[in-house]
């Protein structure tokens, strides 16, 4: 059986041809994603490039994922920032969404307007433990109905409010889904039902909105969000299968044209003995997405984190040269760094994006004093003992020096309480097969794990 996997990215459409019988990846190819015209054009171009490499290819199964058209845009609403609002964000991110904003408490009129301008595909509405506060989630349900946008609302909050919420959305003619509470009791997470609901809404509604309906007709299974496919690949590589072990804890960095996604496969428990865990328990498989950190479409936002003079000094060039390359990237998002000078500039931008994104993903420690002396508290994941950092984004895998970029993720003595990896080994997904293997995992998990161990480790 031959399988073709397709990742419709925000910048590039990436194909992987797999011969299951001989257990080989026959080849990969990519072409610029043509979301503004017909997304099939980019697919066809990439398929021609693939066949130029490997010869005519007839596939039996077509498996697809997509982050084209801005990906799956979501906002999340909760009650308390450190609790249900955080649980909502974790659920949305783990489902492959691009979480544009998270809100806590009752949203204001200004926040209603902000949501209208974001124009999300889905709003995840949470708030209150089961049997707890109902007022906030009910108030937010009313306020969401007043926003003139056609998003779907997934309700994953206090089950005691579900009847009233159903009446609110039915009366307003809103598209909604009610599922299990993401935090049914204090400090207890249950994000899987919400994650499944997000995936179902993506398949049912968002595919048409992103121009992927024809792709879905061609595909052998449901088209899913690309980050969800990558997450599946990460979990497989880390945990392995019933027959074969995985490689254990690692961090994966997917640096693309529009976003920077960080995945950590680790329980994130404190590596020191005198540390207390603060806040919600962290999931083993965690994803954060930074929509303001990208190498092309989000370069304007990344510039706010860059010191152009510092970049120029580091590379030994004039600031005008840095600015000229920035302007070229903004004007032509499909441009690829070709000269050594352009490649060095791109690497500097990429390393800074990685540094900021990983800093936001990792947990941090704080010290406080008690009658018994100084103690430390951990918020988030302690990733200081992570074994591997794997680069999987286009800016990383196309670099001549991937470790130079990935070093942006390392522990920084100037930020001693941010628990970044201290002594990781660097790996690279040169063929960009993580998403492909996440798709293949649904049919051939052993083969997908075998490919990843061969191509990445």
Domain ranges of the chain: 2-68+211-222, 72-205, 250-428
pLDDT the model gives residue 163: 95
Using CA atoms, how far apart are residues 365 and 181, in angstroms rounded to an integer?
A: 29
> Torsions phi, psi of 305, nearest 5?
-95, -5
The H-or-E segment that residue 173 falls in is none
* 140: its two tokens: 């937010």
pLDDT score, position 103: 94
Find the mean pLDDT for residues 179-203: 91
Tell me: pLDDT of 409 over 70. Answer: yes
Confidence of residue 207 (pLDDT cuts 50, 70, 90): confident
Least confident window among 60-74, 106-120, 423-437: 60-74
Alpha-carbon gap, residue 409 to 387, rounded angstroms: 13
Overall average pLDDT of the 242-248 stretch: 95
Confidence of residue 205 (pLDDT cuts 50, 70, 90): confident
**CA distance linking residue 159 with residue 129, whole number of Å:** 8
Looking at residue 457, its pLDDT comes to 63
Q: 330 vs 155, which has greater pLDDT?
A: 155
User: Both tokens of residue 157?
Assistant: 């909050």
pLDDT surpassing 70 at residue 34: yes
Structure tokens at 143: 């306020």
CATH placement of domain 2-68+211-222: 3.30.420.40
The structure tokens 């019988």 sit at 21
Query: Which of the two residues, 128 and 37, has the higher pLDDT score?
Result: 128
If we measure between CA atoms, which residue out of 88, 148, 146 comes closest to residue 118? 148
What pLDDT is stored for residue 54 in this prediction?
Answer: 94
pLDDT reading at 68 higher than 80: no
**Assigned CATH topology for domain 72-205:** Rossmann fold (3.40.50)
At which residue do the structure tokens 């950190």 appear? 293
Residue 327 CB partners (closer than 8 Å, separation 6+): none
Task: Round to whole Å and give the CA distance between 82 and 222.
Answer: 34
For residue 240, what pLDDT band results from cuts at 50, 70 and 90? Answer: very high
Mean pLDDT of 60-74: 87
**Identical topology for domains 2-68+211-222 and 72-205:** no
Is residue 428 within 8 Å of 396, Cβ to Cβ? yes
Confidence of residue 84 (pLDDT cuts 50, 70, 90): confident
């Amino acid at each position: 059986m031959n399988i073709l996997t397709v990742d419709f990215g925000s910048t590039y459409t990436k194909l992987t041809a797999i011969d299951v019988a001989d257990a080989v990846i026959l080849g990969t190819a990519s072409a610029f994603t043509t979301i503004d015209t017909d997304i099939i054009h980019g697919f066809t171009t990439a398929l021609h490039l693939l066949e130029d490499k490997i010869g005519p290819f007839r596939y039996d199964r077509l498996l697809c994922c997509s982050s084209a058209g801005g990906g799956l845009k979501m906002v999340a609403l909760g009650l308390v920032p450190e609790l249900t609002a955080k649980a909502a964000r974790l659920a949305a991110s783990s489902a492959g969404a691009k979480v544009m904003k998270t809100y806590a408490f009752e949203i204001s009129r200004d926040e209603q307007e902000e949501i209208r301008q974001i124009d999300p595909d889905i709003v995840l509405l949470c708030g209150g433990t089961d049997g707890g506060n109902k007022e906030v989630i009910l108030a937010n349900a009313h306020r969401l109905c007043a926003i003139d946008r056609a998003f779907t609302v997934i309700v994953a909050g206090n089950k005691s409010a579900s009847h009233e919420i159903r009446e609110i959305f039915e009366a307003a003619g809103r598209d909604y889904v009610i599922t299990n509470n993401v935090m049914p009791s204090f400090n207890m997470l249950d994000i899987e039902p919400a994650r499944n609901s997000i995936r179902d809404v993506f398949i049912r509604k968002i595919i048409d909105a992103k121009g992927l309906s024809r792709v879905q007709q061609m595909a052998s299974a449901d088209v899913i969000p690309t980050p969800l496919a990558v997450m599946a690949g990460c979990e497989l590589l880390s945990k392995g299968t019933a027959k074969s072990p995985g490689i254990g804890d690692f961090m994966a960095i997917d640096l693309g044209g529009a976003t920077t996604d960080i995945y950590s496969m680790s329980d994130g428990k404190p590596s020191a003995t005198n540390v207390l865990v603060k806040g919600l328990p962290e999931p083993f498989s965690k994803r954060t997405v930074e929509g303001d950190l990208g190498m092309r479409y989000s370069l304007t936002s990344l510039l706010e984190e860059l010191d152009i003079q510092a970049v120029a000094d580091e590379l030994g060039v004039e600031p005008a040269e840095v600015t000229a390359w920035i302007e070229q990237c903004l004007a032509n998002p499909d441009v690829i760094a070709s000269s050594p000078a352009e490649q060095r500039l791109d690497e500097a931008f990429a390393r800074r994006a990685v540094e900021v994104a990983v800093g936001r993903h990792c947990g941090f420690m704080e010290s406080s004093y008690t009658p018994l002396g100084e103690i430390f508290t951990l918020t988030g994941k302690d990733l200081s003992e992570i074994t591997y950092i794997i680069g999987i984004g286009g800016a990383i895998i196309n670099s001549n020096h991937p470790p130079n970029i990935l070093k942006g993720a390392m522990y920084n003595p100037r930020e001693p309480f941010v628990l970044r990896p201290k002594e990781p080994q660097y790996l690279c997904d040169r063929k960009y097969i993580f998403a492909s293997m996440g798709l293949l995992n649904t049919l051939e998990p052993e083969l997908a794990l075998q490919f990843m161990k061969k191509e990445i480790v």
